Amino acid sequence: MANYHPNDELLMTYSAGQVNNALGIMLACHLEVCSQCRAKVHKYNQLGGEILSSTTPITVSSGLKQRVLAQLEQPRDTNTNPIIDAPVPPSDQRIPRPLWRFVPSTLNDIAWKGFTSSIQEFTLPFSDDTYTAKFYKIAAGKELPEHTHKGNEFTLVLDGAFSDQVGSYHQGDFILANTETIHTPHAHKDKDCICFAVLDAPLKMTGFFGRMLNPFLR
Amino acid sequence: MTIPNQQDTTDLNSLVLRIAQHQDKQAFAELFDAVSSRLKAYAFRCGATDTEAEEIVQESLLTVWRKAGQFNPKTASAVTWLYTIVRNKRIDLARKHKNVQIVSDDLYPEQATDDLENDVERDLNGEIVRTLLTSLPEEQRQIVYMVYFEGKTHSEISSELDLPLGTIKSRLRLAMKKLDALAQEQMTWLIIILMTNF
């Protein structure tokens, strides 16, 4: 059961179909494990339904109905989106369903990259102009240099746990760090901590060691 | 445009069920007449052109025909279900024009049945949601609409309406508090809030 959640505004915007990017994928991953947030989204979907009903209608063109009716004869199961094959369930339970088609079937097969063994990353294939999406792996017991953020960084814990000055975060927790957050996250000792992160601007290291590392960080 | 009454909502549910159970084309034609102009208006207000809006209507209704078997009136009303379909079609049509990997199925995967059943008790009474929406002060409703149709952030709404960011935030928060009161069945509070039109 997650203890840290996206705020209501974000959940409403997601329900409104207006977070169609890496952050939306992360919200979908959190919702998979959080019935509390699912209930909220359900409520916002209902509001969406009422908004749909109360919109001033615009009459469709005269031929549309016949065109649609003519297509009912086609086989029913041709609607699958040709862009995506049905994702295959991974062997690794730690991978949330919305990520299935974007990552290897087990987190152990990920080609991690990084300049130190304590922090490694894997870039996810659905970054866009707004957000960069990554997995981070912080080695068990290791600490990241103290840093702040130039923008927003959303984090979802997939495995293990980490703590910073504010709290302790476990699987399913959704955390937002922004320009006001200065923190030194460290992974708990028992296992590596793997996080899904979505950033709208790169990290900015504040400590001396961190400043030295900065040129290597995008 | 009149807001549909409870009767209409029930009718929509039964139309979708007739499609699901009997592949009833007459029911489908009636559903088309009942909702196509609203689906088009939704797509249009979300920024689709006239042609795109009609494509969204067409794809949404074909999805209703194909997926009617998945409709479960115990977990959501037909209008909520239709909303999620047209929202997803809008996302996927917009995506086609750009080189975007993410599709609506990624964002809104079909929920496991047991999760759905567990969430059923949270389902709200549609009529009350409607009452809430119509009785929101215009200034609050306007912001909710901007979120749903335009996906505007607080700061974008603030500059568009030329109002301080704090005002936008508090208006949306007030609207959302009322929804929360509703969801938690704090009906007394909700009635007080609605009566004071605060």
Residue type, A193: C
Kindly tell me if the per-residue pLDDT of B198 is higher than 60.
no
Sheet holding A153-159: strands in order across?
A119-123, A132-138, A193-199, A153-159, A174-177
Write out chain A's pLDDT in tens, 218 residues: 789 999 988 999 999 999 999 999 999 999 999 999 998 898 899 899 999 998 899 999 999 999 999 999 776 554 455 455 566 777 788 899 999 999 988 888 899 998 788 899 999 998 888 889 999 999 999 988 887 777 889 999 999 999 998 899 999 999 998 878 888 889 999 999 999 999 986 655 566 555 555 444 43
Per-residue model confidence as pLDDT tens digits over B106-119: 999 887 656 666 66
Between the CA of residue A53 and those of A199, B35, B71, B180, what are the distances in Å? Answer: 36, 8, 18, 21
Q: Where are the alpha helices (DSSP H) in B97-183?
A: 104-107, 113-119, 126-135, 138-145, 154-161, 165-183
Greatest pairwise CA separation for chain A in angstroms: 69
Tokens matching residue B48: 């689709």
Chain-chain contact of A56 with B41 (C-beta, under 8 angstroms): yes
Determine what percent of chain A is predicted with pLDDT higher than 90.
Answer: 52
Do β-strands A162-163 and A132-138 pair in parallel, antiparallel, or remain unpaired?
unpaired
Residues in chain B: 198
Unique residue bearing structure tokens 């994702």:
A87
What is the model's pTM?
0.87
Chain-chain contact of A69 with B29 (C-beta, under 8 angstroms): yes
Chain-chain contact of B83 with A64 (C-beta, under 8 angstroms): no
Per-residue model confidence as pLDDT tens digits over B68-85: 999 988 888 899 999 999
Give the Cα-Cα-Cα angle A68, A15, A43 (nearest 5 degrees).
105
Report the pLDDT value the prediction gives residue A202, as an integer from 0 to 100: 61
Closest residue in A to B104 (Cα) is A20
Closest residue in B to A61 (Cα) is B54
Which of A50, A102, A123 to substitute to test the interface with B, most B CBs within 10 Å?
Answer: A50
Chain-chain contact of B54 with A52 (C-beta, under 8 angstroms): no
Secondary structure class of A156 (helix, strand, coil): strand
Report the pLDDT value the prediction gives residue B98, as an integer from 0 to 100: 72
- Give CA–CA dist A110/A4, Å, rounded: 26
Report the pLDDT value the prediction gives residue B173, as an integer from 0 to 100: 87
Spell out which residues of chain B touch residue A133, defining contact as CB-CB under 8 Å.
none
Long-range pairs for A63-72: beta carbons < 8 A, 24 or more residues apart: A64/B36, A64/B54, A64/B57, A64/B58, A65/B29, A65/B32, A65/B33, A65/B36, A67/B58, A68/B32, A68/B58, A68/B61, A68/B62, A69/B25, A69/B28, A69/B29, A69/B32, A71/B58, A71/B62, A72/B25, A72/B28, A72/B62, A72/B65
Q: Which helix (H) or strand (E) holds A157?
A: strand A153-159
Number of cross-chain residue pairs from A and B with Cβ atoms under 8 Å apart? 200
- Give CA–CA dist A131/A152, Å, rounded: 10
Spell out which residues of chain B touch residue A12, defining contact as CB-CB under 8 Å.
147, 176
Which of B63, B108, B118, B149 to substitute to test the interface with A, most A CBs within 10 Å?
Answer: B108
Q: How far is A50 from chain B (nearest CA, A)?
A: 6
Closest residue in B to A59 (Cα) is B37
Closest CA to B15 of B25, B5, B2, B3: B25
Buried b vs exposed e over A185-200: b needs ≥16 C-beta within 10 Å?
A: bbbbeeebbbbbbbbb
